[in-house]
């Protein structure tokens, strides 16, 4: 094996290790997640075309399905991902997520009648559901966002009242915070969840079909034809290819894994230092999330909150993204 091919193999292995899941995709868990994902995708196509379920129910199914799949595909411990006790614990966490959303669906009317006057089961379900959401966020994005959420929640119901000056906040009761975070239309199953299952999921599903149909290879070849002969061509190929892939993938990690396995060895062969090549790919893949139409879900959230048409937002964002 030549040195260059050995380097390419190492690069591919390193990029593979970047993927969130370290679980055996051919095992029983992988097969279960595969079919669960198929049903989940078909359900979302139904919800967005012929479905007549209420938005709350669809948002609850959307959350519980993602939590279950995330718990099984992004293990609690990457080093022991295929250990029986880790799989069992992840399955339990996913089942708990499903249970909390079914509680919301089954007792929807009673919950709205009680409002912030919680009974014991309401307390337990709300706290557990929020903890599960925080754990799934930690597994997929790291510690920063969960810590930021905890910081904001505790500020609202606890320590904000002790802060002097303009940041002083009289505070809300814990019951009010839990109700608004989990049971009300302002919380986990409100407008953000609706944007997720109507627009974000469908665009990412479209992007996945596009990539699996061979569009990823076409994008890389198109980038090579456009920039491959320029000075620093491999770097331009990485930027252009990652930008085009990022416009439909919606994930910087998925973007890096799919394009980096080609562009990083290409840059290394052209004489780019290893760290520089990795940096170019990482920056290009992250910047790809700013590319319309998906824009890392940001465009959909902006359209929902500002009431500016989505088409107008991506049209304005197109030139700066380029």
Question: Is residue 115 domain-shared with residue 226, that is, in the same domain?
Answer: no
Q: What is the pLDDT of residues 95-133, one digit of tens each?
A: 999 999 999 899 988 888 887 788 889 999 999 999 999
Distance CA(119)–CA(218), nearest Å, equals: 57
Q: Are residues 171 and 232 in the same domain?
A: no
20 and 145 part of one domain: yes
239 and 301 fall within a common domain: yes
Percent of the chain topping pLDDT 90: 24
Can the peptide bond before residue 293 be classed as cis, meaning omega within 30 degrees of 0? yes
Encoded tokens for 141: 């994005």
Regarding whether 261 and 231 lie in a shared domain, the answer is yes
Statement: residue 94 has pLDDT above 90: yes
**Where does the pLDDT of residue 140 fall: very low under 50, low under 70, confident under 90, or very high at 90 and above?**
confident
Residue 13 pLDDT > 70: no
On whether the CB atoms of residues 249 and 203 are closer than 8 A, the answer is no
The pTM of the full predicted model, rounded to 2 decimals, is: 0.74
Beta carbons within 10 angstroms of residue 273's beta carbon: 10
Confidence band of 136 (pLDDT split at 50, 70, 90): very high
Do 166 and 230 sit in the same domain of this protein? no
Same domain, 217 and 77: no
Number of domains in the chain: 2
CA distances from 221 to 217, 241, 244, 288 (A): 6, 9, 12, 17
Predicted pLDDT at 3: 53
pLDDT band at residue 137 under the 50/70/90 scheme? very high
Residues 154 and 206 in one domain: no
- Domain check: are 46 and 137 in the same one? yes
**Contact between 321 and 215 (Cβ < 8 Å):** no
pLDDT tens digits for range 233-270: 777 778 888 777 777 766 677 677 777 777 788 788 77
Residues in the chain: 322
Q: Which domain holds residue 96?
A: 3-189
């Amino acid at each position: 094996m030549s040195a260059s091919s050995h380097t390419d193999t190492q690069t591919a292995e390193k990029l593979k290790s970047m993927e969130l899941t370290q679980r055996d995709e051919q095992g029983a868990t992988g097969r279960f997640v595969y079919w669960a994902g198929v049903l989940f995708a078909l359900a979302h196509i139904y919800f967005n075309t012929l479905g007549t379920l209420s938005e709350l129910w669809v948002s609850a199914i959307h959350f519980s399905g993602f939590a279950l799949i995330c718990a099984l595909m992004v293990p609690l411990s990457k080093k022991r991902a295929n250990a029986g006790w880790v799989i069992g614990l992840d399955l339990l966490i996913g089942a708990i997520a499903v249970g909390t959303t079914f509680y919301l669906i089954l007792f929807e009317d009673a919950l709205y009648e009680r409002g912030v006057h919680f009974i014991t089961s309401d307390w337990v379900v709300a706290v557990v559901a929020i903890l599960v959401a925080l754990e799934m966020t930690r597994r997929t994005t790291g510690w920063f966002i969960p810590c930021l959420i905890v910081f904001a929640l505790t500020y609202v119901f606890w320590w904000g009242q002790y802060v002097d000056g303009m940041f002083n906040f009289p505070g809300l009761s814990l019951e009010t915070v839990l109700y608004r975070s989990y049971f009300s239309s302002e919380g986990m199953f409100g407008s953000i969840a609706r944007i997720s299952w109507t627009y974000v999921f469908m665009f990412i599903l479209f992007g996945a079909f596009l990539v699996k149909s061979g569009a990823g290879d076409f994008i890389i070849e198109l980038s090579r034809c456009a920039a491959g002969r320029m000075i620093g061509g491999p770097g331009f190929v990485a930027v252009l290819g990652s930008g085009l892939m990022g416009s439909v993938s919606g994930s910087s990690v998925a973007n890096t894994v799919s394009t980096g396995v080609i562009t990083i060895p290409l840059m290394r062969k052209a004489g780019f230092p290893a760290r520089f090549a990795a940096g170019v790919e990482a920056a290009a893949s992250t910047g790809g999330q700013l590319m319309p139409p998906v824009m890392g879900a940001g465009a959909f959230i902006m359209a929902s909150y500002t009431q500016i048409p989505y088409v107008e937002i991506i049209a304005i964002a197109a030139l700066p993204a380029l």
